[in-house]
Structure 1
Amino acid sequence: MKKIIIYLLILLPFYSNAQNQEVENTVKAFFEGFHAKDTTKIKSVCHDKMLLQSIMEGQKATKLEEEKSSEFIKSFATFPKDLKFEERILSYKVQIDGAMAHAWTPYEFYINDKLSHSGVNSFTLYRENNQWKIVHIIDTRRKP
């Protein structure tokens, strides 16, 4: 019995790291689709009921804005073809509890290679049918 417990204790960090990597890969797939303006790829990792919010931090006031996921997806059709945007993720911190996960990702956002703003993304994910789906994204946005 002691051997089984020891093996489980040894294998647990590997299982945890694999789960963390799955969550990180889901977020990376979201950004691959985002940068490519590929709404099919974005939708493949997002739950139908996904909620999007942003905390806009200004010099005078801070405000919370909300966007419907359907509007977010539709917005890609309005971007000019020559518009280049890139969200550079600086690090990942993943936490998991059963079928819920959280990914904290500081970022810098560039438009046509110029820093537009920076902040932190907070992704909440739900494990459905053995696949992580993004159910909530909230971010902070600060101008340089």
Structure 2
Amino acid sequence: MTPTLSEVTVGDELPALTVPVTRADLVRYAGASGDFNPIHWNERFATEVGLPDVIAHGMLTMALAGRIVTEWAGDPGAVARYSVRFTRPVVVPDDGVGTEITVTGKVAAINEDGTVKVTITAKAADQAVLGGAQAHVRLP
């Protein structure tokens, strides 16, 4: 159930979210976004440029992490601002399983403008992949 502004308290935790990411997801995202950089699909190329393996698109990672807020708010249009820093790539092995991004969120502030500031943590392989991730959300 979507919370209302009057029901939210600083420190409230959003329901955690775990999102699987496979090589097939990367191919679909490349087609949708037009980002066909070979670091996102070609293991040989990725390792030649110093990466451990193929990595997920940064904007895909950002979008998947943002789902924690849109699902909690019940409306993608409720997000007034969303920002992240990319701190570590999400490695996606070609093992048929891929990887998982685990996302948590916490209400950090209730702003004077009526928005709720949510801080977001996203991890893959137990390592943070986004830094300074936050969203400002308008709740009913």
Q: Considering the TM-score relative to the shorter chain, is it more than 0.5? A: no
TM-score normalised over the length of structure 1: 0.28
Structure with greater proportional strand content: 1
- Higher RCO (C-alpha under 8 Å, 6+ residues apart): 2
